[in-house]
Structure 1
């Protein structure tokens, strides 16, 4: 926990200089997984920021809050990467998921409708960012709901900034480019192939099988004639259980 506190109080500098520190904290959190679930999202932001900086270069800042003083609205940047050589500003929205959970249409709508335009309005007036091209991206280690993908695909594009998204499959090639083994291991072991993800996936498969059997059983029983004998009902149930 001391490692975690130290990491979260200096997120940008620690993650970019020493990604091994992030990996050590994640390994330690597996022993207190109940509490770790709430922390995994914050650590995902740090490791994504470290990954983006490792691959793209530039100056990274994580977990900053911004306010639009004209309207009073506020928003947070999970990861903000000021790329080198005038290549622009990348703002990443992070969604850490375990198997069985996905980025929902509601989450995608809130990000694209609200957060992206608000953050662009605020950030474009920052002196060190003014005049640079902006890109806003949503990154998740899990899947994105098909309805959310459809919504994002048909959303009218902006002439002022670019918008994109990466699901788990889309993130993996980016992770493979990381020069830091700690980043690759942390993403692989804790976000792509974490034990909780395997447990959740198994539970989802078992629930799906149980639901199929239940529906089949109900259909047979409902289709049985009222005058059918008790022996006939017993035989139908036995057939299902084979």
Structure 2
């Protein structure tokens, strides 16, 4: 039986594939830098020759035709873990009807594009309400449950940070409790909405230009100035969310 290795060599660096436990009981797959000396200490020098080797990383979003390895490159995109089945998701549709209201068909198209064409550009979806108990954050949590490690939920501090590697490789970027009142915030959002490449930066590493496919979803209790939106701006899709009639 062929031996399976929990390590990879990508370029000239070694990584270990680990399963990080989450409070929900799920596990998140992470690729952690691992020193060659530790690998030799744990397994012996001869072990290194069997570790799979790749030329570098790539980032190719796909849910229905997923590939981890493309050519001799390792895709940073994570697999879609759910298996569709026939049925009527009545409770989910009722909830989506609450979020999208008379624009439900547009909302379903938005979700369909996220699933089937994750590289397609989409508007910046904004869910706003001064009321509590509207289900805005639940929408972020629902998408996180569906798209898993390909989505992140951030704060405005994460969005403003120069160290953006945590979210630059995600296809959905949720920002909860949004209050991006600075002009540079709105300009950055608008630029990212149409960007195809972006500079990714992690602590202690050089900036790298990557392909960017992120879609932003903003949730805010501030209806009027959660972000600066110029008259005639078409890159935002703003939905005012009512209070839930009942919790289910």
Q: Smaller-chain TM-score range? A: under 0.3
Kindly name which structure, 1 or 2, has the bigger radius of gyration based on alpha carbons: 1
- In terms of fraction of residues, the more helix-rich structure is 1
Relative to the length of structure 2, the TM-score reads 0.26
Relative to the length of structure 1, the TM-score reads 0.27
- In terms of fraction of residues, the more strand-rich structure is 2
